Amino acid sequence: MSAGMSSDQIIKYEIIDKVNNYDDIVLRIFPESSNDDQKLIENGGLTFSYNGIDYGSCDAGWFSKEVVNGKTILTPLIGLEGTDALNRGSSGDAQYQRFHHALGAVKNGYIGIYYLREGDSKMQLDLYEMAYNASKHEAGDGAYLIIQDLEIVNELLQLIHEHGRSSVQVKGYLNEYNNKMHDIWYENKFSTYQYDWNKFAEKRSTVLVEDYIIKYAGRMRRNFTDGSQRAGHVAVGEMFLSKYLYYGKDVYYLCPRMTKEDVDYLDKTKKSDKEWTLLRTEKDVYYKTMDDLVGLPSDVRKNLVSISEAPLKNGTEPIRIYKKCIEIIVSGLKSGTIKLVK
C-alpha cells in the first residue's frame, strides 16, 4: 500500500483504515491535495490557534458530536499529527520539527498526538519527555501523547465514547500514559548521561545558567528567507525541544551568525510566517544574536560576520570558523567574560 506514497498519504490511509468510528465522534481528515487543513479548527480546518498564534496544521482531528435544537455542535477532542519519517531515513533532529503541530491542541486543553509510524530508524526518546512536560504544564485538561501504534487512539476513543472526555477513566488513561513516557525517557535516555543535566546540555548545544538556558545554533538570515531550506521548521523544533526539556526555565535561542538588523528585517518581512512567529512569540522564549553578547571579542565578531551567509557544511572552512567561534562564546558564557543581554 505504501509504495510510492507520500508520508501524509500513508498516515491518512492508516487512520481511515485502522481507527474505529463512533456515532457520537466525528473524524475530520482531508486528502493530501487539499489545503483545508490550513484553516482554523473553528472554520472547518485542522489548525489550532492559541492566544492568536496559529500552530501547525494536524493530519486528523476527532470531535464530539452533539445535536442541540436541531443543530450539530462539534467540540474538539484530539488533534493528531503523523509522519512516516522513520521509514525515510529521519533518525535525527528532524523528528522534532512537527512536534508543534499537535501542541496547539494541547495548549487549548484538548489531546494532542504525535504519531511516528514505526520504521527502520529509531525514534528520538526526548520526544517522550517533551510531551510529558507539555501535558503537565499546558492548559486545563490538555494532554500530549507520543505514539507509534494507532491502537492507542482506538483505546482513547472507546473510553471517550463510553465515559466522556472529562471522565475519570479518560483522565486516568492519559495520566498513566504520560507517566510511562517519562519513565521511558528517564531510564533509556537520561540514564545515558548519568542523570546529569550538564552532561545532557553539552550534547544539545546548550548552556545552563541558573534559572535560564542558552540554546545556540548556526542559523543565518537566508535560512528563513529561502523557502527551500525549511530552517524555520528546524529552528522551531530546536526551540520546543529546549523549552519542554528544561520546562520552567527561560530559553534564550542564540544565533550568533545573525545580527539585530537581521531579526528586525525578518520581523518586518515574515509577519505571516508561522514558524518565525512562533520563534518570536512563544512564552518564555527569547531570540538572540551576536549583538546581544556583551564582551564578545572583536575578532570573533568579525569571523562570524564573514560566514554569516555561508552554508555550514561538514569539512568546509565556514564550519571550522563557526565551531571555533562557538568554543570561545560558550567558554565565555560559562566563565562570565561574555554575558548575554536579557
Residue position matching grid coordinates 572552512? 317
- Confidence at residue 209, expressed as pLDDT on a 0 to 100 scale: 87
- Confidence at residue 92, expressed as pLDDT on a 0 to 100 scale: 74
What one-character DSSP code corresponds to residue 246?
Answer: S
At 18-65, the pLDDT tens digits run 999 999 999 999 998 899 999 999 999 999 999 999 998 999 999 999
pTM of structure = 0.93
Q: At 63, which amino acid appears?
A: F
User: In which region does residue 52 sit, left (phi positive, over 0), alpha (psi from -120 to 50) or beta (all else)?
Assistant: left
Residue position matching grid coordinates 553578547? 293
Region 126-153: mean pLDDT is 95
- Confidence at residue 228, expressed as pLDDT on a 0 to 100 scale: 60
Q: What's the pLDDT band for 341 if we cut at 50, 70, 90? A: very high
- Confidence at residue 263, expressed as pLDDT on a 0 to 100 scale: 97
Q: What's the pLDDT band for 134 if we cut at 50, 70, 90? A: very high
- Confidence at residue 280, expressed as pLDDT on a 0 to 100 scale: 95
At 291-324, the pLDDT tens digits run 999 999 999 999 999 999 999 999 999 999 999 9
C-alpha to C-alpha distance for 129 and 114, rounded to whole angstroms: 13
CB 70 within 8 Å of CB 78: no
Beta-carbon-side half-sphere exposure of residue 307 (alpha carbons within 13 Å) = 25
List the alpha helices (DSSP H) in the chain.
7-18, 99-107, 126-137, 151-163, 168-188, 197-202, 221-225, 231-245, 260-269, 274-281, 298-306, 317-335
Q: What's the pLDDT band for 3 if we cut at 50, 70, 90? A: low
CB 231 within 8 Å of CB 223: yes
Question: CB 185: neighbour CB atoms within 10 A?
Answer: 22
SS3 of 45, please?
Answer: coil
Q: What's the pLDDT band for 101 if we cut at 50, 70, 90? A: very high
- Mean pLDDT estimate for the chain: 94
At 229-265, the pLDDT tens digits run 567 888 999 999 999 999 999 999 999 999 999 999 9
For residue 124, CA distances in Å to 93, 127, 241, 263 come to 8, 6, 11, 30
- Confidence at residue 281, expressed as pLDDT on a 0 to 100 scale: 94
Joined together, the cell numbers standing for residue 215 give: 540554546
At 154-206, the pLDDT tens digits run 999 999 999 999 999 999 999 999 999 999 999 999 999 999 999 999 999 99
